[in-house]
Amino acid sequence: MTKYSSRYASSPEAVKKYDTQQLREEFLIDDLMQEDEIVLVYSHYDRYIAGSAVPVKDDLTLETIDPLKAPYFLERREIGIINVGGSGSVVVEGTSYELGFKDALYIGSGNKEVIFKSADSKNPAKFYINSAPAHTTYPTVKVSLAEANKLELGTMETANHRTVNQMIIGSVVTTCQLQMGMTELRPGSVWNTMPAHVHDRRMEVYFYLDIPENQAVCHFMGQPQETRHIWMNNHQAVISPPWSIHSGSGTSNYTFIWGMAGENLDYGDMDVCKITDLR
């Protein structure tokens, strides 16, 4: 079964007037990881799709959705998948790719059949999905967590010591515009993406995981001088418009998956905001 919804773009002037409920309705994705369902959110920011697939009793087949106006999902799209559950596999045109915990898979456009499977229904795979429009086809590539390009950033003194795992990114996999990776915060560190930044040429989606029970992450968004916040729980995602910062602080350390698309593939293309200038 596939469920989808659409989110339309909001201007920064409009978002300044949103209350908590409006912010959550526009930007928070809080219904992911539903058993035996594919859940998709189609954002009008760069036509980005974020979603999940959790096969338990049955395998799940990636189906097209009405906003795509396409006979199959990947006719004009590419997709990135990261498994945040038990062992599983993704079958692409008859070829099976085994994905363990935190392994990634990139699938290029033109692949008609994509099937999600779990190795054990009692510990099902939980596939987190990002997809963006694609203008050409590139090969399907698996990237294990061990194969990621790793960056060590931050310090314990500033509570943001973290490992950035670049997985579906130019130095590792060739894509049209999709980029994905995973940032793991060390015990004792709680701040991600600080100093914060915006990149007007790309939008982004954050997916939070490894949040302990009874803990949470406060995600900060908005223009640097007009910030807002959204409290988030485990396995929830948040849409970040190009004009918005995207940063968070947790009541514990945690992990988040970042995915983005837009005008370029330059990972360093960002406008950093001084911490003391944030409002």
Q: How far apart are CA 139 and CA 76, in angstroms?
A: 14
Q: How far apart are CA 199 and CA 61, in angstroms?
A: 34
Q: Which fold has domain 11-277?
A: Jelly Rolls (2.60.120)
Record the pTM: 0.97
pLDDT value of position 268: 87
pLDDT value of position 177: 97
Encode burial over 239-253: b for 16+ CB neighbours within 10 A, e otherwise. bbbbbbbbbbbbebb
Among 271, 257, 136, 138, residue whose Cα is nearest residue 204: 257
Q: How far is CA 163 from the centre of its chain?
A: 17
- Cα dist. 84→46, 54, 129, 213, 232 in Å? 25, 10, 11, 16, 17
- Cα dist. 40→18, 31, 37, 159, 170 in Å? 24, 9, 10, 33, 25
| Residues 209-262: tens digit of each pLDDT | 999 999 999 999 999 999 999 999 999 999 999 999 999 999 999 999 999 999
pLDDT value of position 232: 98
Stretches in the chain below the pLDDT threshold 70: none
Domain boundaries, the chain: 11-277
Percent helix, percent strand, percent coil in the chain, to nearest 5: 10, 45, 50
